Structure formats: structure tokens, C-alpha cells
Amino acid sequence: MPSSVLLALLIGAVVLALVPALIRRYDSAVRRAHEDRTSVSRVLTRRRARFVPIYDTSHGSLFTDAVDDGQNDDDVETEEEPPQPAPSAERAAPALRRRWILLALLASAASCGALAMVMRQPLLWIGVGAALCGAVLVLRQARALARARAHLRVTKRAERAARKRRAQLFLATLSTHTRIDPYQAEALVEWLMLVPQERTEPDEYVTEVFAAANREAVCVNGRWVVQRCARPQLVHSQDDVEADQWGYVPEPFAPELERGDDGTYYRRAVGE
């Protein structure tokens, strides 16, 4: 038997032997299913605690002690893991493309080996060279894609850090003349760190901080943005009145202080 035929048979056998391992290595779905099958972890169900009365002879009273006897498990609602979200089309597309590229390379190598068994030896080397060129192109494309993704991650991280610095600066400026609760500060920073498209309606903590700063969150075309509050704002104490006199209220909403019947100060926008 010619050496080219033996070499082709050897290449075909190696490729067929490596196909399952390569698919498990580069296909995330197959790898996850394989890990689930080979995993030794088990999900433990929660059992109901049965309360058995125990008499205390020293005090003459009745106490209860929780005893786990493993009975009446059907009456207890066990906590199940939340359903995992399905991968989006953007995340599934690169994995599917890599899978098809890998299968195409393996099919080309196997076809080259099969043709080499029928024809002459030069065709084998031509096929091997074409397969190597294709592998080099695929690796270069994968490397460029990895660099682009790394640059995108760095950019997003830098934008998130910049939004966090702006939120902390806004919070520090507001804290100079307004008392802010730690929960309010944490909620405000977390809300401002999100991009306008990802923001949701702010909770009461964030709303109170915005009200103290004469601002409000408004949804414009699905984007939550912060703008100056045009409505009259309540001033709760004389300290706030003095702070307003020192110019803490932004223009053009310079306040005209009015005292109500109950002794509470109000500030209204100029021109009302």
C-alpha cells in the first residue's frame, strides 16, 4: 500500500478521533451538557421542621423545639432555582459561527484524506496547505474579534467609572447643604451609574434626593434623564431657607420665599 494512502488513513483516523473532543471544547452548549452529565453535585430539597412540645419541669411552662424528622415533605414548597435566561441571538451567533467553521475545516481535511486515497500524493499536500491557510485566516479573525471585544469591555468599564465619579461628585456637592441617608446615597449612585436606556423608574430614596436638589427624573423616549424641577418645592426648615439665600438653588429658579399659615416656608420659581 502506498505511503500516501497510509498517511491519508492516519489523518482521517486522527480527525475522527478528535471531533468529539473539539466539539466539547469549542461548543458551549455541548460543553455545558457534558458538565451537567458528569457532575456529581445534587440538589438538596428542604424539609419541613416539625415542632414537638417539650415540657420544662423547672419553670412549669411549655416550650417548642424544632425537630427535623424528614416527614411531610410534600406539604412544603421547596425553593427552586430561577429559570436561566435564554442566550440572546447576539451571544449565540459567534458560537454558532465558530461551530460551523470548525466543522467545515474538519470536513475539508477528511475530504482531502479521502481524495488522497484515490488520487496521487500531491493532492494531499495541496489539501493540507489549503486547510492550514484556512486555519490561519480563522485564527486571525478570531484574534481580531477578541481584541475588539476586549477594547469594548475596557471602554464600557471606563464609561461606568466615569458615570460613578460624576454620581459621587453630585452626591458630594449635594451633601454640603443637605443631609442624605446612607441608603439614599447608595441608591442614588447605583441609579446614576446606569446608562439612560437601562435606567428604570427611581425608587423613593432617589426621588427624595432629587427633590432636595430641586431636580426630578423624567422618562423621555424610553430614557430616564435628570432635569431641573420646575414645580414649587417645599423648604422644611429655616436652615434650608438660609441655604437658599446663599444661592444653592440653581438659576433660573431663584426662590421667592413665602411663609405659609402653618409656618412652613415655600419657594417658587420666579415669574409665577
Tens digit of pLDDT per residue, the chain (272 long)? Answer: 566 666 777 777 777 777 777 776 777 777 777 677 776 665 555 555 444 444 444 444 443 443 344 444 444 444 444 445 444 555 556 666 777 777 777 777 677 666 666 666 666 667 667 777 877 887 788 888 888 888 998 998 888 888 888 888 877 877 777 777 777 788 888 888 887 777 888 887 787 777 777 777 788 777 787 777 765 444 444 444 444 444 444 433 334 455 555 655 455 544 44
- pTM of the predicted model, to two decimals? 0.38
Distance separating alpha carbons of residues 272 and 265, to the nearest angstrom: 16
Residue 65 has φ and ψ, to the nearest 5°, of: -130, 135
Distance separating alpha carbons of residues 252 and 234, to the nearest angstrom: 17
Closest CA to 26 of 122, 112, 94: 94
Which pLDDT score is estimated for 263?
52
Task: Give bridge partners of residue 218 from the DSSP assignment.
Answer: 225
Which pLDDT score is estimated for 80?
45
The three-state secondary structure class of 245 is: helix
Closest CA to 53 of 61, 43, 41: 61
Which pLDDT score is estimated for 44?
54
Which pLDDT score is estimated for 226?
78
Distance separating alpha carbons of residues 5 and 118, to the nearest angstrom: 8
